[in-house]
A and B are shown apart, each in its own frame.
Chain A
């Protein structure tokens, strides 16, 4: 290819290797494209120019609309040439230019001529190009040719037509559906890929007709599908049919399972893999069904091909999440994969082993991983750290070796995300395993001695301030904290000062020494550090108890105004003699979107890591405490998940969150107005309590205005008798509706009162139970003692399965399943389940459930409850008895 004339700017390296496209420029190439218009075409030169155009597009260059049109028109001239190579390039560039519909007409006749040509290559390509650029109107004209092409004896032509059919089905389904007979004939083709394409199209034509798909699968699984790709497709369709037929069949005799199993003996590896994966993903797959699939995957593990090993270990990794025992047979092969060259495979192997490992193998495994960690990338390390964290929560007794591992890797090199994952893991372990607290805190202290990340340092200092004073010997942390004041940047120093103050506030014996340290901080060269030290010296140094309580509240309490509002107010504050008044910050949260979605201003200090639940509670708590009427209800006990009170897609979407307090209950109705032409004002919910006599409404807080698509909340408050009071509430949404002019967005002055029926809401006993896990159920159970134990037996009647019965009871009680006992192995006849929770009033409750199922699917249950108070144990029984 000729060297282009124009050289590009000199930012290219001089010693750049030879490239036929060196220094190529769009403008020049577009000029060159004029050769397309020559009366005497030079096919070779034209091909070169098209290649250059394609090269430009490929490198990410774009043509303007005008340029594209010009090139397109010039290219159409090239249909005159009879050169096959050039024609091939013409097809390519037309597809790349994707001409607009009025331009397409110009090439239509040329392409249709090619479609009827004697050269198969022309026909196949012309079909693909035409179908790519055409629209529906043209399609009816060429439909006849396409139908013929589908059953053409040349497989290339048939495949081209079938693939085009698959693409066209998205835009013109009614036309493609008429080709059913031809497609069906093509499924029987002897050419492997034609069979594959035909099957794909046939299934898509019928995909909305379950019966037809089922028939298709039935007939084909008996027949002879030759192509491996078609076989893979058929496996996917089969598992879809199996999924959809759930419930219609007896357990034990799953339809088509024999077919899937026979595919495990197919000669093509891709079919074997597809079948094995399909089996492992079956709903409620049994161990007997899994075994053959696991066996072939195990063979793949020792393959010489990385792709096969990867596919196998990835599948087994997924199986290990639900059926860890089934995978243990592969552990030896899996361990040898830890040293695999491909680090993705090694990481998957490690995490699989961590999932399947039992308590006794943990130590050995950790030794192997330690060697492995040094030579993988951070992203893989994070995966391993997360796997270790869940392993530690599973085997709390092994915390020592796992914590050691975490602290070792914390000392090694690593990026921020990786270090953060480790720190988060240690924090979670400290929170969940009390025994691990002291050693974990010390590891964190050592880490901040040499930590390059300010964010992590401040997080750890904050966490130390909360947890440190509660340990047996708080003084040993002081050294680590005070070192920060000497050695770090201002942000960390300020944070260390606060942590010191927290120790001073909580541990009386340390106070004098802390004061000495804080006084030294008064000479810091940073304003913030000095200010904090002065403030804490003053507040903690006060003599009367009230001031000290204030100081504690200031140090440990959370900010009671929304952070965003505070930020806005501070920005508006102009420096003057008048000090900034925090009470002037509005507490009303402005049209706050459904609270759980965008938690407003979560303080960076919330290191409480499994944060999803805590942070929603925090958010709710902050939201409720911002409303003065609710401030004297005490501490929020529990907030339920939102319950939808409207169908999806209605005019007004309303859901409700139940906030439980000791003597009160607050319904928070989250309302969304989905009509752009309306503005709702004075929105309230009128609640009828005739089915909930023990509740009495004491207040309601209307929503002033609810504009389109900007959610808002209205509240209704009830007083209730203590204990788990239940009842049913019917709700009506009342509001004043005003028309909004969509063009201006202005609402009219006059509104009409209207109301909207919402669905009923129930308060059930489970609302009074907090899901709180315990790390070691047996210990907790033993230490609770049998004094307040209540045991009884219940018949649950016929149930679909044991798993369903267990899930129903857990749901009814609203408690936290412990130690993974909520998972019922399929086909088991009995099961025990351990639950823990905190009942309203702060009473810890532990529950042991034993289930049994008989041949008639009748489920019997033994319920043993232990708690700190016999009446609570009785209450739990009452929940079950009445549920």
Chain B
């Protein structure tokens, strides 16, 4: 177990450090207050940094934390002190891009809360019990989105697959810029 890359938590916070969605895998933070304290400390220590173009990184309370911000959302992935930073960065990138795809490019807090089910499923598809399940954003988003596609939800004005196509296009464009 100790040799396998291990993700200790995935956090999605808003621009005030409040939870949008979080998932803890290790028992380093046994209580909710311990978790909140960790989130607060990570949040305050990363506020001055600019993590909007490239993922940033820091060592907080003996955890390697990689993070990336967009609009009023802040994405964090933490691992052990000796974890390979690039593996964590890849998990972060997978999470970040998958959320971008699922929210059709409108990545902000409002949209994230309105689609919280998708975000939670997304986290569930990335890491299982601390072990990395998938890091490719397209695969992750695909797994989450197929679920809703067959549901035939009558109220959605466009199907998710259409949305996904638009989002993908959007992403490629932003990457090519």
Task: Known A20-B113, A344-B57; judge A236-B22 contact (CB<8 A).
Answer: no
Task: Known A43-B151, A274-B84, A342-B57; judge A307-B113 contact (CB<8 A).
Answer: no
Assembly CA distance A156 to B148 (angstroms): 18
B155 CB, nearest partner CB in chain A, Å: 7
Assembly CA distance A544 to B132 (angstroms): 80
Q: Which of B58-112 contact A (CB under 8 A)?
A: 58-59, 66, 84-87, 89-90, 109-110
Whether A304 contacts B54 by the Cβ 8 Å rule is yes
Assembly CA distance A55 to B119 (angstroms): 11
Task: Known A236-B3, A311-B85; judge A344-B128 contact (CB<8 A).
Answer: no
Write out the residue numbers on chain B whose beta carbons fall within 8 Å of the beta carbon of A86.
Answer: 151
Q: Which of A41-89 contact B (CB under 8 A)?
A: 43-44, 47, 50-51, 54-55, 58-60, 62, 83-89
Assembly CA distance A447 to B110 (angstroms): 52
Task: Known A273-B84, A307-B89; judge A44-B35 contact (CB<8 A).
Answer: no
Whether B57 contacts A85 by the Cβ 8 Å rule is no
Q: Does A773 contact B (CB under 8 A)?
A: no
Task: Known A305-B55, A341-B49, A344-B57; judge A163-B4 contact (CB<8 A).
Answer: no
Assembly CA distance A193 to B133 (angstroms): 7
Q: Does A530 contact B (CB under 8 A)?
A: no
Assembly CA distance A116 to B150 (angstroms): 19
Write out the residue numbers on chain B whose beta carbons fall within 8 Å of the beta carbon of A182.
Answer: none
Q: Does B153 contact A (CB under 8 A)?
A: yes
Write out the residue numbers on chain A whose beta carbons fall within 8 Å of the beta carbon of B133.
Answer: 159, 163, 193
Q: Which of B1-50 contact A (CB under 8 A)?
A: 1, 3-5, 19, 21-22, 32, 35-36, 45, 49-50
Assembly CA distance A237 to B1 (angstroms): 12
Whether B54 contacts A305 by the Cβ 8 Å rule is yes
Q: Does A514 contact B (CB under 8 A)?
A: no
Q: Does A308 contact B (CB under 8 A)?
A: yes
Question: B145's closest neighbor in chain A, by CB?
Answer: A85
Whether A193 contacts B85 by the Cβ 8 Å rule is no
Write out the residue numbers on chain A whose beta carbons fall within 8 Å of the beta carbon of B89.
Answer: 305, 307
Question: B31's closest neighbor in chain A, by CB?
Answer: A60
B114 CB, nearest partner CB in chain A, Å: 5
Task: Known A85-B148, A310-B85; judge A60-B36 contact (CB<8 A).
Answer: yes
Task: Known A1-B114, A43-B151, A92-B121; judge A306-B87 contact (CB<8 A).
Answer: no
Assembly CA distance A273 to B131 (angstroms): 20
Q: Which of A303-321 contact B (CB under 8 A)?
A: 304-308, 310-311, 314
Whether A311 contacts B49 by the Cβ 8 Å rule is no
- A7-39: CB near B (< 8 Å → 1, else 0) gives 000000000011111000000000000000000
Whether A17 contacts B110 by the Cβ 8 Å rule is yes
Q: Does A121 contact B (CB under 8 A)?
A: yes
Q: Does B161 contact A (CB under 8 A)?
A: no
Whether A197 contacts B150 by the Cβ 8 Å rule is no
Assembly CA distance A565 to B68 (angstroms): 55
Write out the residue numbers on chain B whose beta carbons fall within 8 Å of the beta carbon of A51.
Answer: 116-117, 120
Partner of B134, one of A95, A193, A304: A193
Whether B59 contacts A344 by the Cβ 8 Å rule is yes
Write out the residue numbers on chain B whose beta carbons fall within 8 Å of the beta carbon of A720.
Answer: none
Partner of A308, one of B22, B36, B86: B86
Assembly CA distance A185 to B73 (angstroms): 42
Q: Does A451 contact B (CB under 8 A)?
A: no
Q: Does B143 contact A (CB under 8 A)?
A: yes
Q: Does A728 contact B (CB under 8 A)?
A: no
Q: Does A270 contact B (CB under 8 A)?
A: yes
Whether B3 contacts A19 by the Cβ 8 Å rule is no
Write out the residue numbers on chain B whose beta carbons fall within 8 Å of the beta carbon of A167.
Answer: 128-129, 131
Whether A311 contacts B4 by the Cβ 8 Å rule is no
Question: B153's closest neighbor in chain A, by CB?
Answer: A44
Write out the residue numbers on chain A whose beta carbons fall within 8 Å of the beta carbon of B166.
Answer: none
A325 CB, nearest partner CB in chain B, Å: 24
- A136-172: CB near B (< 8 Å → 1, else 0) gives 0000000000000000000010011001001100100
Question: A52's closest neighbor in chain B, by CB?
Answer: B116
B91 CB, nearest partner CB in chain A, Å: 10
Assembly CA distance A47 to B116 (angstroms): 11
- A467-510: CB near B (< 8 Å → 1, else 0) gives 00000000000000000000000000000000000000000000
Write out the residue numbers on chain B whose beta carbons fall within 8 Å of the beta carbon of A108.
Answer: none
Q: Does A293 contact B (CB under 8 A)?
A: no
A194 CB, nearest partner CB in chain B, Å: 11
Partner of B66, one of A20, A21, A307: A307
Among B66, B129, B134, chain A packs the most CB atoms within 10 A around the CB of B129
Question: A89's closest neighbor in chain B, by CB?
Answer: B117
A11 CB, nearest partner CB in chain B, Å: 15
- A566-589: CB near B (< 8 Å → 1, else 0) gives 000000000000000000000000
Assembly CA distance A808 to B114 (angstroms): 68
Whether A306 contacts B151 by the Cβ 8 Å rule is no
Whether A204 contacts B128 by the Cβ 8 Å rule is no
Question: B148's closest neighbor in chain A, by CB?
Answer: A85
Partner of B84, one of A55, A92, A159, A232: A232
Task: Known A163-B131, A342-B57; judge A19-B146 contact (CB<8 A).
Answer: no
Whether B85 contacts A273 by the Cβ 8 Å rule is yes
B32 CB, nearest partner CB in chain A, Å: 4
Assembly CA distance A142 to B131 (angstroms): 22
Question: A93's closest neighbor in chain B, by CB?
Answer: B120
Q: Does A638 contact B (CB under 8 A)?
A: no
Assembly CA distance A229 to B87 (angstroms): 8
- A229-259: CB near B (< 8 Å → 1, else 0) gives 1001100110010000000000000000000
Q: Does A862 contact B (CB under 8 A)?
A: no
Q: Does A524 contact B (CB under 8 A)?
A: no
Partner of A163, one of B21, B35, B128: B128
Whether B147 contacts A344 by the Cβ 8 Å rule is no
A106 CB, nearest partner CB in chain B, Å: 22
Q: Which of A334-359 contact B (CB under 8 A)?
A: 341-342, 344
Whether A232 contacts B85 by the Cβ 8 Å rule is no
Question: B45's closest neighbor in chain A, by CB?
Answer: A377
Write out the residue numbers on chain A whose beta carbons fall within 8 Å of the beta carbon of B54.
Answer: 304-307
Task: Known A60-B36, A204-B1; judge A47-B56 contact (CB<8 A).
Answer: no
A313 CB, nearest partner CB in chain B, Å: 11
A401 CB, nearest partner CB in chain B, Å: 29
Partner of B132, one of A88, A229, A304: A229
Whether B143 contacts A156 by the Cβ 8 Å rule is yes
Question: A51's closest neighbor in chain B, by CB?
Answer: B117
Q: Which of B118-177 contact A (CB under 8 A)?
A: 120-121, 124, 128-129, 131-135, 143-144, 146-151, 153, 155
Assembly CA distance A183 to B5 (angstroms): 19
Write out the residue numbers on chain B whose beta carbons fall within 8 Å of the beta carbon of A233.
Answer: 3-5
Assembly CA distance A341 to B85 (angstroms): 18
13 further interface pairs, Cβ-Cβ under 8 Å (given A83-B150, A305-B55, A305-B89)? A17-B109, A18-B110, A43-B151, A50-B117, A51-B116, A54-B116, A83-B151, A95-B124, A156-B143, A167-B129, A197-B131, A306-B57, A344-B57
Q: What would 10 A/B residue contacts be, using CB atoms closer than 8 Å?
A: A1-B114, A21-B116, A86-B151, A92-B124, A121-B146, A193-B134, A232-B5, A270-B87, A274-B84, A314-B59
A interface residues (Cβ-Cβ under 8 A, vs B): 1, 17-21, 43-44, 47, 50-51, 54-55, 58-60, 62, 83-89, 92, 95, 121, 128, 132, 156, 159-160, 163, 166-167, 170, 193, 196-197, 200, 203-204, 229, 232-233, 236-237, 240, 269-270, 273-274, 277, 304-308, 310-311, 314, 341-342, 344, 377
- Nearest 3 interchain pairs by C-beta: A270-B86, A60-B32, A85-B151
